[in-house]
Amino acid sequence: MADSPPFVPLDTPIREELFGSAREILARLEFLRAQDKATEAKRALLKKLLWVLAILGFVGCLFVFGIFLFIPFGIVYYFYKRAGRKDLEDRKLEIVSRLVEVLQDELSASENVQVMIDFNGYAKGAQPRGLARFAEFTHEWLKIDLPIADGGRLKLVATTHCKRKMKYKRKYVRNTDRLQEELRLQITPAKGTVLEGQKAPALARMLGSLSGLQCRSVKLRPKSAAIELRTERAVFRDRPKYGKEQFAGWENLLDSERVLRLVVLSYRGLSGASRVRS
């Protein structure tokens, strides 16, 4: 497995629910991003300070005075862990920012955008299902409701599915997670138009061309479309008791470009599967 991915799934006890115009949503997201960058810089500084205190403490133990460094080490470590409770997953912020920013000119000016981003970890609060050595988690971490200027509406939900294998060692449990992410789109067509159900297979083939995503279901009804996709390959996350976490296939997680391509292609595809209501 490879380590040091560009983003790491975090477990931050923060859930943001945003409601307002596209400009207001973007302003709030920019504030969260700036706050997150400040938190990351603070943690980096505290981490360096911890290393300095650890080295001084080790050397100081040879001369007795090192024992007095345990107190400042503990204080710095407390603030380091506390800052981690505000460290947001950049990927989630980027997905929402990119989507709203690109589509803002297509959105209705008279209706508000609704966004829910859950920064908790995928196993946080979930009830595991399965045998003693295996568990499954489902975590719904993103909901977006976008009113379109032509009278249509687009709703997007992102979910992480985790299958966990637990290896029981003598003093600890080693977890290996297999992650896949799912996107569900519900689209209402433009005002005055209806969708033709017989064109669902053609739309499914079109969405099947998206790199890294597997189209699982396309259902077209006269007044709504339901589309379900899942990341084509899984991400493996191995967490030993000691040493770094290791990842394999982290590039298979959802990112802003992949989600944006899906939304644009789906809406364009539906325009070819619709007709004016008679």
pTM, rounded to two decimals: 0.84
Provide the CA 81 distance to its chain's centre, in angstroms: 22
Q: Residue 248 belongs to what domain range?
A: 15-276
Angle between helices 22-60 and 90-103 (to 10 degrees): 160
State the total domains in the chain.
Answer: 1
Element (H, E) at 20: strand 15-20
What percentage of the chain has pLDDT greater than the value 90?
32
Q: Which pLDDT does position 3 carry in this prediction?
A: 46
Which residues are bridge partners to 134 per DSSP?
165
Identify whether 27 is part of a domain: yes
For residue 189, which of 247, 135, 126, 268 has the smallest C-alpha distance?
268
Give the ranges where the chain is alpha helix by DSSP (H).
22-60, 70-84, 90-103, 200-207, 256-271
Average pLDDT, whole number, for the chain? Answer: 84
Q: For 214-273, write each residue's pLDDT tens digit.
A: 989 999 888 889 999 999 888 888 877 666 778 788 888 899 999 999 998 888 888 776
Identify whether 158 is part of a domain: yes
Q: Which pLDDT does position 199 carry in this prediction?
A: 83
Identify whether 1 is part of a domain: no
Identify whether 6 is part of a domain: no
Q: Which pLDDT does position 62 carry in this prediction?
A: 58
Identify whether 5 is part of a domain: no
Identify whether 3 is part of a domain: no
Q: Which pLDDT does position 166 carry in this prediction?
A: 79
Identify whether 2 is part of a domain: no
Identify whether 253 is part of a domain: yes
CA distance 104 to 21: 9
Which residues are bridge partners to 230 per DSSP?
182, 214
CA distance 52 to 32: 30
Q: For 132-185, write each residue's pLDDT tens digit.
A: 678 888 899 999 999 999 888 999 999 999 988 877 777 777 788 899 999 999
Give CB contacts under 8 A, 24+ apart, made by 232-235: 234/178, 234/179, 234/180, 235/178, 235/179, 235/180
Q: How confident is the model at residue 63 (pLDDT cuts 50, 70, 90)?
A: low
Residue 64 has pLDDT above 80, yes or no: no
